[in-house]
Amino acid sequence: MNSLNINSIAALKRFMVVGQKWDCIQPETGFAPGVRELAVKNSVGIGFKTPKGISYLNWPKAKEVLFIADPSNPEKVKFKVAPEESPNLYLIYTIA
């Protein structure tokens, strides 16, 4: 599966597996924790390893997610999560 096939949260859930490495950035604030390993994946959400433990992210609502496909590099899976209550504080996740 590549970025051209991932166009829903269901497809993303199938694609993400424990052990994958993802890069995260929040452009609005400059927050960039760097590459993190996916440590937990369940029906509620996902968890990334951090130096202090695990950072959890609940699965977002479909309307809060934008899937970004790059036809020139289909293996680069990328998605943007923009919470309804603060859409300017969005996060962009890219497979590392």
9-28 burial, b for 16+ CB within 10 Å, e for fewer? beebeeebeeebebebbeee
| DSSP reduced 3-state for 82 | coil
Let me know if residue 63 belongs to a domain: yes
Task: Quote the tokens at residue 36.
Answer: 């993190």
Let me know if residue 2 belongs to a domain: no
Let me know if residue 4 belongs to a domain: no
Structural domain that includes position 50? 9-95
Let me know if residue 17 belongs to a domain: yes
Let me know if residue 51 belongs to a domain: yes
Query: pLDDT tens per residue, the chain (96 residues)?
Result: 655 678 899 999 999 999 999 999 998 888 888 899 999 999 999 999 999 999 999 999 989 999 988 788 878 888 899 988 888 888 888 988
Instruction: Kindly report the pTM of this predicted structure.
Output: 0.83
Which residue is listed with tokens 């166009």?
7
CATH of residue 59: 2.30.29
Let me know if residue 44 belongs to a domain: yes
Let me know if residue 64 belongs to a domain: yes
